[in-house]
């Protein structure tokens, strides 16, 4: 396994997933790639009172802050970590990125939604388990 892809959304479970992935990477001599997915805009940018470029800039800054926090939470200094910001539907963007030949597995946190909340809100981790070309470790 050359690389482990870790999906980060800023939740405590995603930071826990990043730490667990770092431990696995250390044992296998793998690199970590932390990713955050910026979803497509649900509302037109003018609703926010901003231009498309300004909204995209804010999303990117937010993603960079989340990834920086996740990198800081990893307590394994000998693990090589890089980051990437993806765009689109979260599960699909992660699965597409994981299709690279050097990715051995995906690690993602579970927010712990109950069955009813998951039915209405959906679950990126659940969707990813079903569509991913690579093994997925869901950390609770």
Tens of pLDDT along the chain (140 residues) come to 899 999 999 889 999 999 999 999 999 999 999 999 998 766 666 666 777 778 888 889 999 999 999 999 998 889 999 999 999 999 999 999 999 999 999 999 987 555 545 544 458 999 999 999 999 999 98
Q: Which fold has domain 3-139?
A: Rossmann fold (3.40.50)
Integer-rounded Cα radius of gyration of the chain: 15
Calculate the alpha carbon distances from 107 to 24, 34, 40, 136 in Å. Answer: 10, 9, 23, 6
Question: Roughly what angle, to the nearest 10 degrees, separates helices 52-73 and 12-28?
Answer: 60
Q: Taking the CB of residue 27, how many other CB atoms lie within 10 A of it?
A: 9
Q: pTM (2 decimals)?
A: 0.88
């Amino acid at each position: 396994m050359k690389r482990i892809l870790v999906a980060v959304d800023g939740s405590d479970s995603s930071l826990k997933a990043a730490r667990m992935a770092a431990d696995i990477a250390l044992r296998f001599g793998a690199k970590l790639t932390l990713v955050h997915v910026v979803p497509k805009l649900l509302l037109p940018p003018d609703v926010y009172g901003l231009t498309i470029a300004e909204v995209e800039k804010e999303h990117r800054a937010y993603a960079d802050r989340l990834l920086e926090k996740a990198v800081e939470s990893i307590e394994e200094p000998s693990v090589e970590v890089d980051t990437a910001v993806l765009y689109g539907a979260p599960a699909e963007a992660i699965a597409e990125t994981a299709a690279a030949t050097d990715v051995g597995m995906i690690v993602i946190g579970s927010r712990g939604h109950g069955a009813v909340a998951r039915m209405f809100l959906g679950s990126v981790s659940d969707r990813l388990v079903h569509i991913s070309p690579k093994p997925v470790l869901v950390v609770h």
